[in-house]
Chains A and B, each alone.
Chain A
């Protein structure tokens, strides 16, 4: 059995890392709406919602060139994260393409649920490469036809595990200022068969999610600059060190105006998806940290299965700058903005 066959669901869809369920309102090379139908009991991490927006843009761009080219992850200039957990929900997607040619697609878009933005993306650019290097163009055409059918695809029955998609080893830490870690991408994972059938690469969104966890980990270990909030929470000023990658914390609530607090609190989904950072309990309350914005994400090359990556996270006020290197060469850069509050 070929790799492509093993990753197909009974309806013939390559599902392990494909999130768009239906496409509607297509204006060729310009605009589209779409939906994700999530199966019973699942919640969608924000990085996967962002991935879905990118995938919808990719479908529009691929259709515009009759599937001769496909975009790959390149640049995300601005990503705003408003909400995180979802379950049993319909997520609405929308993309606007600002440019679409044989070299690149530029787009902005968003994922919404219950009338609220979950993730918005702007100033995104994906280099266009030969589609046949990644997938069978005819298979892509067929999937696109199915997505354009109002019935679309069945609800996603499973979702990839976001936390722990790669292993993380801390190399060095200057609490609150700098963190160096080694990320090891697995040799095998279900999503490699779908991303992509002819060229397995580690999804940039999972890689970004892993780096964001490191940024939050660094932020939460800050012994000084969060002192006022810590005092209000009834915590001491001693460094609060907790490795998010090692410790599966549970979320206690939601931030801001996220639309379904009761349902989310009741379901208590796994913590943390990447919009929400960490919780430190004190006498008077808990400090909750969240990544609210990701900027200037730039992927410089593909990440093959089994790759070992060095990630350097450096704090600059409320921002954490991320640099990833492979064999000493720049692999990617990004900056995240973190907000904390007393909950």
Chain B
């Protein structure tokens, strides 16, 4: 996984924050970098779709749905990443490595695939945008 710097994140943060605020109907000041989308900003599944499409339009990038989990899985096969909807030890380790912006204590074991979005913070989306920008330049 390519390194993403704090400067990279800072460069996209204001626009990502505005985008998330528009999608959630909240004030941009509420959208701080470490805020969790679900638990802190009350985002629901439809909001995740809304945010992704708004980011695609706003930054002129492509973010396939499921991209965060796909990126996290990386080279691991699906069977090595999760079994029956629960992350394997290797999958959980890989997820921790990928979501570096998420404090370690938030990763529970066992962790269900459906609970992964609960980990996402505003920074997760900033990093997603930065990665998509880097990918589009390659």
0/1 interface trace, chain B 44-60, chain A, CB 8 Å (1 if under): 11110110010011000
- Does A169 sit at the interface, judged by CB under 8 A? no
* Bound-complex Cα distance A176 to B30 (A): 30
* Bound-complex Cα distance A300 to B23 (A): 13
- For residue B56, which residues in chain A have a CB less than 8 angstroms away from its CB? 99
Q: Looking at chain A's contact residues, is the secondary structure mostly helix, strand, loop, or mixed?
A: strand
- For residue B110, which residues in chain A have a CB less than 8 angstroms away from its CB? none
* Bound-complex Cα distance A104 to B47 (A): 12
* Bound-complex Cα distance A49 to B99 (A): 44
Q: Given A300-B44, A333-B25, check contact A125 B65 (CB 8 Å).
A: no
- For residue B46, which residues in chain A have a CB less than 8 angstroms away from its CB? 74-75, 127, 298-300
9 additional contacts, CB 8 Å, given A74-B50, A99-B56? A101-B64, A101-B65, A102-B65, A104-B49, A104-B53, A127-B49, A296-B22, A296-B25, A333-B25
* Bound-complex Cα distance A1 to B57 (A): 48
Most A CB atoms within 10 A — which of B45, B47, B50, B57? B50
* Bound-complex Cα distance A300 to B57 (A): 22
User: By the criterion CB–CB under 8 Å, are A99 and B45 in contact?
Assistant: no
- Does A121 sit at the interface, judged by CB under 8 A? no
Give the interface size class of chain B. 10 to 19
Q: Looking at chain B's contact residues, is the secondary structure mostly helix, strand, loop, or mixed?
A: helix
0/1 interface trace, chain A 104-128, chain B, CB 8 Å (1 if under): 1010000000000000000101010
- Does A103 sit at the interface, judged by CB under 8 A? yes
Instruction: Show 11 A/B contacts (Cβ-Cβ < 8 Å), sorted by A.
Output: A74-B46, A74-B50, A75-B53, A101-B64, A101-B65, A103-B66, A104-B65, A123-B57, A125-B53, A127-B45, A299-B46
Give B contacts to A, CB under 8 Å.
22, 25, 44-47, 49-50, 53, 56-57, 64-66
User: By the criterion CB–CB under 8 Å, are A106 and B53 in contact?
Assistant: yes
Give the interface size class of chain A. 10 to 19
- For residue B65, which residues in chain A have a CB less than 8 angstroms away from its CB? 101-104
- For residue A74, which residues in chain B have a CB less than 8 angstroms away from its CB? 46, 49-50
Top 5 closest A-B pairs, CB basis?
A: A103-B65, A104-B49, A106-B53, A75-B50, A125-B49
* Bound-complex Cα distance A300 to B48 (A): 12
- For residue B45, which residues in chain A have a CB less than 8 angstroms away from its CB? 127
